[in-house]
């Protein structure tokens, strides 16, 4: 894989309506090429479930750093939700080109 284009998702986090986590809206970064993937990366201080546009894309039973691929296509406006009792930090989208096998 090549070097990633990183888009930080700082600020604008709000308590999730269910009361057990946080959510944030974000726009589609740009047109994603067929040979690129988008991942959400960051750190959570407790167990969590991760959703993008109501689709569950990941979970962890304890704290730690994470990297989860986001299913395509992204919409013009999207929502990321962390259902957790912990803190979510250093969250970003990473767009990277996937090098085909040789």
pLDDT for 102 equals 58
Residue 82, domain extent: 5-97
Tell me the pLDDT band of 87, cut-offs 50, 70 and 90.
very high
Give tens-digit pLDDT for 8-64. Answer: 998 889 998 888 899 999 998 887 888 999 999 999 999 999 999 999 999 999 999
Q: How far is CA 61 from CA 40, 45, 71, 80, 84, in A?
A: 18, 11, 22, 19, 10
Query: Which CATH number covers residue 53?
Result: 2.60.120.260
Give tens-digit pLDDT for 70-80. Answer: 988 899 999 99
Does 19 map to a domain?
yes
Does 102 map to a domain?
no
For residue 94, pLDDT over 90 is answered with yes
> Going edge to edge, which strands form the sheet with 5-8?
5-8, 88-97, 36-44, 64-69
Domain count, the chain: 1
**Separation between Cα atoms, residue 87 and residue 70, nearest integer Å:** 21
Does 52 map to a domain?
yes
Maximum Cα interatomic distance, the chain, rounded to a whole number of Å: 48
- The structure tokens 């959400």 sit at 40
For residue 1, pLDDT over 70 is answered with no
């Amino acid at each position: 894989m090549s070097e990633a284009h990183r888009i930080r998702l700082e600020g604008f986090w709000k308590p999730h309506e269910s009361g057990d986590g946080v959510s944030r809206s974000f726009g589609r970064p740009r047109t994603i090429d067929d040979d690129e993937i988008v991942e959400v990366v960051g750190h959570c201080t407790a167990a969590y479930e991760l959703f993008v546009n109501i689709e569950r894309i990941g979970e962890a039973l304890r704290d730690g750093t994470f990297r989860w691929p986001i299913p395509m296509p992204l919409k013009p406006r999207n929502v990321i939700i962390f259902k957790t009792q912990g803190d979510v930090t250093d969250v970003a989208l990473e767009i990277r080109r996937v090098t085909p096998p040789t």
